[in-house]
Amino acid sequence: MKTYNDIYLETRRALRTAGIEAYGLEARLLLSAAADKSPEDFLRDLRLYPGGDFEARASEMLRRRLEGEPCAYIAGSWEFYGLELEINHNVLIPRSDTEVVTGAAIEFLKGIPEARVLDLCTGSGCIGVAVAVNVPDCRVVLADFDRRALMVARRNALTQRLGARAIVLEADALAPPARQLEGFDLLVSNPPYVPSGEIPGLDPSVRDYEPWTALDGGEDGLDFYRAIFARWTGVLKPGGRLMLECGEGQKDALLRFGAMAGLADPEVFRDTGGTERALSFRRL
């Protein structure tokens, strides 16, 4: 009879052989989900013998992963900014790239007491939830047009015990904001920004599993940015900040949009690879 550790080592080996870079991490996530344990509890119990249908569940999860389905969707969770968040096929898997704009938002808000934050195109709620956890006196609105995504964002806010400091709101970034949306210190967004024609050429793990509506930024990838600069900057207080994640090569277009919208003091933030990954603007 195999222990958890025996199955863990077999799973690691299979993932490594398949060329999966984070084979150790993914083995822990998949098997802890199969065992209905936290990753920490799973590692603690490695010497134990599993019961029930654990081996069958683990085998099925491994099969799905080897066929290309992302680990986060199989396990139902993913780590972002140190938080374990629920993830399903209705939302994008949070990337480390998005921690750039999240970190910039947190640093900006630390100097503003009781700040109000709007996370537009929130998806899983990863940015807004991480901001609220790290800036304990701020309040966040998690906004998205997709009700299924909002259900995920709501559960993540509840899991992180944000209570009344976080609310979810159905809102379309391509349309004008509702009149009651005003007085925010920060509008932060990671909108869809992949050009439509490039989506079929994306890695199959993205193209075949992640929601296209959260990827497709229109013909040139800039549709959502145009709408946000043209229609949404008015929700900010004077002196408030607009912070946006962007794709590689999109910075110059966003700087033009910011100037046309009358925003000031643009800042550019790079990711660990040196790519210009996020921009910030101040409303006058």
Cα separation, 280 vs 255, in Å, equals 10
pLDDT of res. 63: 98
Q: What's the pTM value of the predicted model, to 2 decimals? A: 0.95
**Contact between residue 184 and residue 117 where contact means Cβ atoms under 8 Å apart:** yes
pLDDT classification of 192: cutoffs 50, 70, 90 = very high
Cα separation, 136 vs 155, in Å, equals 18
pLDDT classification of 1: cutoffs 50, 70, 90 = confident
Q: Quote the Cα angle for 103-198-173, to 5°.
A: 50
Residue 111 above 90 pLDDT?
A: no
pLDDT of res. 66: 97
Q: What is the percentage of the chain residues whose pLDDT exceeds 90?
A: 98
The mean of the pLDDT values for the chain is 97
**Contact between residue 96 and residue 278 where contact means Cβ atoms under 8 Å apart:** no
- All domains of the chain, ordered by start, with CATH? 4-75 (1.10.8), 89-282 (3.40.50.150)
Residue 252 above 90 pLDDT?
A: yes
pLDDT of res. 219: 98
Cα separation, 224 vs 189, in Å, equals 10
Q: Is 47 exposed, middle or buried (0-12, 13-18, 19+ CB in 10 A)?
A: exposed
CA dihedral sign, ordered 229, 257, 107, 214 = positive
Smallest Cα–Cα separation from 194: which of 53, 97, 81?
97
Q: What is the percentage of the chain residues whose pLDDT exceeds 70?
A: 100
How do residues 8-62 score in pLDDT, each as one tens digit? Answer: 999 999 999 999 999 999 999 999 999 999 999 999 999 999 989 999 999 999 9
